[in-house]
Amino acid sequence: MLDKHQGARLANLWDDGKAAGMTEPEKLLYRSNLLGSDKRITNYGGGNTSAKVMEKDPLTGEMVEVLWVKGSGGDVGTIKMDGFSTLYMDKLRALKGIYRGVEFEDEMVGYLPHCTFNLNPRAASIDTPLHAYVPKPHVDHMHPDAIIAIAASKNSRELTSKIFGDEIGWLPWKRPGYELGLWLEKFCQENPDARGVVLESHGLFTWGDTAKEAYETTIEIINRAIAWFETENTGPAFGGRSKPVLAAADRAAIAKKLMPVIRGLISAGESKVGHFDDSQAVLDFVTSTSLEPLAALGTSCPDHFLRTKIRPLVVDFDPAQPDVGNTLAGLPEAIATYRADYAAYYERCKRADSPAMRDPNAVVYLVPGVGMITFAKDKATARTSAEFYVNAINVMRGASGVSTYVGLPEQEAFDIEYWLLEEAKLQRMPKPKSLAGRIALVTGGAGGIGKATANRLMQEGACVVLADIDETALEAAQTELSTRYGKDFVRSVNMNVTSEAAVESGFGDALLAFGGLDILVSNAGLATSAAVEDTTLALWNKNMDILATGYFLVSREAFRIFRSQKAGGNVVFVASKNGLAASPGASAYCTAKAAEIHLARCLALEGASAQIRVNVVNPDAVLRGSKIWTGEWKEQRAAAYKMDVDELEAHYRERSMLKLSVFPEDIAEAIYFLASDMSAKSTGNIVNVDAGNAQSFTR
């Protein structure tokens, strides 16, 4: 039995019409994007492609052979022309003359920049020699699940020759680098008719005389592996099911409970963002008899374990008798044990010059009957780590179905994880932004102040959940922010803050999306104005419901999450100048705003011992972008001041002490300050952002 992921054949997407008229580098780009568009061909960021092309040398004007090869970083699926490095082939060949042997292969990376053609600033990757020394014009290196399943089988050499005969060769495990490049060259010289080679525990190399031939060979070889598994791997996946799968709603409910607790336990060094995956491939694995033994073996392809750590943590949860309370109680010990095991692995394998031990927490958490939770420094990394583990699951499924699955030997895994070249790459990474890994929920998130706040927090690296009742505005805000910062960073939930059920479910969605919560910005509001004798009970209640009760309900939910997460928390209320300064003709609004401010003070007191901070920003007269100011409130205010509506902004500006207009971005800046560690020692405070108003001076 095979799932559709492994069962379906890859389609040949090469279009001669499209490729006609393309230069060789353009065809390389075309082929790379086609290959990278299917995760069965290669995982995200994994694999690379190359072409050896004749180019005019900019100095001599002579035609020279140039290697175009995917550079360091990026993904073949989305690579653009500037993602390729270009290097002189004659210089790459000359490097053989200074190579001092396998112990010194890492130093060869330092020579690659000397081979750069045409001042191309794209850094050459560690895999460059693998492409350079294969004596073929077009070379693909992919990490297909179906091929790695062969490569990670105990008898992978035998399987390779059984499936492919002499067409595809086999090379034993060797860490990617200069030496492996020479091995590939030797293989090609000794096997001139071979069309490719399987690298043990790693992946596939294929080649061709034209871009099209290379592409079609890659697809054909992977399809042959897929077909072979279809006929050979016919037993139940992973030796059969030993645990039930919970219903989708129950799986989500369990994940929502586990994620903030795990997050709190592993976020001491850096805040982490979570991802939940309960796809069929994952469920098959986490309900199988082989879950524990296979998970303990760790992953195989170097790309897999670099993203997923050497092995996952299997959470102690029994879907046959679900008792999440027990599981939650056991998590601190389970996580401490994982960390101790990781430290022991580091101690066992470290070398004299190894970098210091990195974060010892697990990335992947497998929950029997429920699914897989991953945590990383940001959402995109958590999501791709999950994708990598799904690749690993597919590999284990194939290998264990036809042979015995073998993970990479521990020392080899360690040498890649703590490779000095890998460490240098990490050191070059830009310093994380001030809110990296933080998760915020902003109510009224689609309106003026709400959206400006989300934008400001996302600028600092936070993940944001926009909560609003205006579905259309919500969709527009999410599109705008995801275009600007990437779709991984923003989610939206429809939330009526006066409904207990809607608030609970909205926060639940936030937990499932990002795995926890650090910041609540309570901002959803309205404004009304009426003389007290004309204030209906309905109008009074509406103000109280949205402003006082609404702020209470979202804060209560945030506090519950903060307490289960045990990592502090941060609440910022957007109140109003009118919460401090009484204003005629708006008693319902002013009273409700005053209630918000007092609620914030009470919560600051209650939360302090758990490092939960609660502060208030008091805006005044923020007209631009505000939905409050688009309705009758604007007309009512204008009428109260006996002026035209378009005179209001100038009126408020002139009324302020600083003679300045107040914009949503100004409020967002104060919210960011209170939500960030810059104000780590402030709680129970009010920051006025009103261009100066003596009436609302705090005292």
Q: Is 625 exposed, middle or buried (0-12, 13-18, 19+ CB in 10 A)?
A: middle
Q: Do residues 322 and 254 make contact, with C-beta atoms less than 8 angstroms apart?
A: yes
Question: Among residues 212, 202, 111, which one has the least CA distance to residue 160?
Answer: 202
**Choice between 175 and 358, CB closer to Zn ion:** 175
**Choice between 47 and 368, CB closer to Zn ion:** 47
Q: Is 652 a catalytic residue?
A: no
Tell me the CB-side half-sphere exposure of residue 639, using CA atoms within 13 A: 8
Residue closest to Zn ion when measured from CB atoms: 203
**Choice between 144 and 398, CB closer to Zn ion:** 144
Q: How far is the CB of 143 from Zn ion (least distance, A)?
A: 6
**Site size toward Zn ion, by CB under 5 A:** 1
**Choice between 129 and 203, CB closer to Zn ion:** 203
Residue 78 and residue 140: Cα distance in Å, rounded? 16
Per the rule left: phi > 0, alpha: psi between -120 and 50, beta: everything else, 314 is beta
Residue 235 and residue 1: Cα distance in Å, rounded? 6
Residue 225 and residue 162: Cα distance in Å, rounded? 11
**Choice between 203 and 260, CB closer to Zn ion:** 203
**Choice between 203 and 450, CB closer to Zn ion:** 203
**Choice between 177 and 203, CB closer to Zn ion:** 203
Question: In residues, how long is the chain?
Answer: 699
What would the DSSP string read from start to end of 401-469?
HHS-B----HHHHHHHHT-HHHHHHHHHSPPPPTTTT-EEEEETTTSHHHHHHHHHHHHTT-EEEEEES
Q: Do residues 219 and 12 make contact, with C-beta atoms less than 8 angstroms apart?
A: yes
Look up residue 342 and give its two tokens.
Answer: 């990781």
Phi, psi of 635 (to 5 degrees): -65, -40
> Coil, strand, or helix at residue 170?
strand
Question: Among residues 236, 226, 345, 305, which one has the least CA distance to residue 1?
Answer: 236
Residue 586 and residue 532: Cα distance in Å, rounded? 8
Q: How far is the CB of 191 from Zn ion (least distance, A)?
A: 20
**Choice between 203 and 322, CB closer to Zn ion:** 203
User: Which residues touch 676 (CB under 8 Å, ≥6 apart)?
Assistant: 434, 435, 460
**Choice between 389 and 507, CB closer to Zn ion:** 389
Q: How far is the CB of 402 from Zn ion (least distance, A)?
A: 22
Q: Is 433 exposed, middle or buried (0-12, 13-18, 19+ CB in 10 A)?
A: middle
Look up residue 500 and give its two tokens.
Answer: 């207990």
Look up residue 258 and give its two tokens.
Answer: 């586990």
Q: Which of residues 263-322 bind Zn ion (CB under 5 A)?
A: none
Q: Do residues 507 and 495 make contact, with C-beta atoms less than 8 angstroms apart?
A: no
| Angle of CA points 498, 475, 623, to nearest 5° | 70
Question: Among residues 369, 384, 361, which one has the least CA distance to residue 254?
Answer: 369
Q: How far is the CB of 130 from Zn ion (least distance, A)?
A: 8
Q: How far is the CB of 157 from Zn ion (least distance, A)?
A: 18
**Choice between 41 and 370, CB closer to Zn ion:** 41
Residue 200 and residue 408: Cα distance in Å, rounded? 10
Look up residue 186 and give its two tokens.
Answer: 């030797």
Residue with tokens 């209001």: 648
| Angle of CA points 124, 127, 131, to nearest 5° | 95
Q: Which of residues 164-223 bind Zn ion (CB under 5 A)?
A: 203
Q: How far is the CB of 176 from Zn ion (least distance, A)?
A: 6
Q: Of the residues 589, 641, 652, 672, which is catalytic?
A: 589
Look up residue 584 and give its two tokens.
Answer: 């005629």
Cα-Cα-Cα-Cα torsion 634, 638, 643, 644, nearest 10 degrees, comes to 20
What b/e readout covers 331-341, taking b as 16+ CB neighbours within 10 angstroms? beebbeebbee
Phi, psi of 397 (to 5 degrees): -65, -45
Q: Is 20 exposed, middle or buried (0-12, 13-18, 19+ CB in 10 A)?
A: exposed
Q: How far is the CB of 192 from Zn ion (least distance, A)?
A: 24
Name 55's bridge partners. Answer: 64
**Choice between 182 and 638, CB closer to Zn ion:** 182
Look up residue 30 and give its two tokens.
Answer: 């075309």
**Choice between 70 and 627, CB closer to Zn ion:** 70
Active site residues: 589
Give the residues lining the site for Zn ion (CB under 5 A): 203
